[in-house]
Amino acid sequence: MSCVRFVRMMAELSGLPSDAALERAHEALFYVGWRGSISFAGYVFAWHETVGKACQAIVHGPRILFLDEPTNGLDPPARQRMIRLIREIRDSGRAHIVLSSHLLRDVEECCEEILVSKMGVLRFTATWRRSEERTEISGSGNKGRIKEAFSHAANKLGCECAFTTDRR
């Protein structure tokens, strides 16, 4: 099955009519950067798992995307393309994104709000703002333990850490 046919089938399964599904399949493939097959050492590679997952996720135009470890197993250039795609979708306002990752770098590059859970229990929520000089994190949760752990980790990295009291 060609990748266009596969993505079209995914669109049809989400309820799009056949003609619209074909058009959306082409749009989704173009959007994620797929340009056809690649030949290497006599073999033809026409599909990459990341392209397939991304196209399958966006072809039907969802308002919310759940991405579970979207950069898992990618080489550095593919990882950067995926991060760029996630930020483009986020910044376009076409969909809200819920990203699950244990890689802080991915979270830092893609997210403005974070939720930390342990064994299915929400432990901490936060928003962050970054500038060249500093990163400000404001959050709520088990504040005493979170502050202590965060402060310890920041100090180990040589970072200064200051806490303020929310007077709301």
* Residues 6+ positions from 152 with CB-CB distance below 8 Å: none
Q: For residue range 17-64, list pLDDT tens digits in order.
A: 999 999 998 888 888 777 555 444 444 444 455 666 778 888 888 899
Q: For residue range 51-98, list pLDDT tens digits in order.
A: 667 788 888 888 998 888 888 888 888 788 888 888 888 888 888 888
C-alpha 149: how far from its chain's center? Answer: 26
Distance CA 52, CA 72 (A): 14
Q: Give the angle subtended at the CA of 10 by the CAs of 73 and 34, to the nearest 5°.
A: 50
CB of 21 within 8 A of CB of 69?
no
Q: Where are the domains of the chain?
A: 1-60, 62-111, 112-168
Q: For residue range 93-128, list pLDDT tens digits in order.
A: 888 888 888 887 888 888 888 887 778 887 777 777
CB of 34 within 8 A of CB of 41?
no
Distance CA 33, CA 85 (A): 9
Residue 155 or 68, more confident: 68
Tell me the C-alpha to C-alpha distance, in Å, between residue 108 and each of 16, 67, 130. Answer: 35, 15, 9
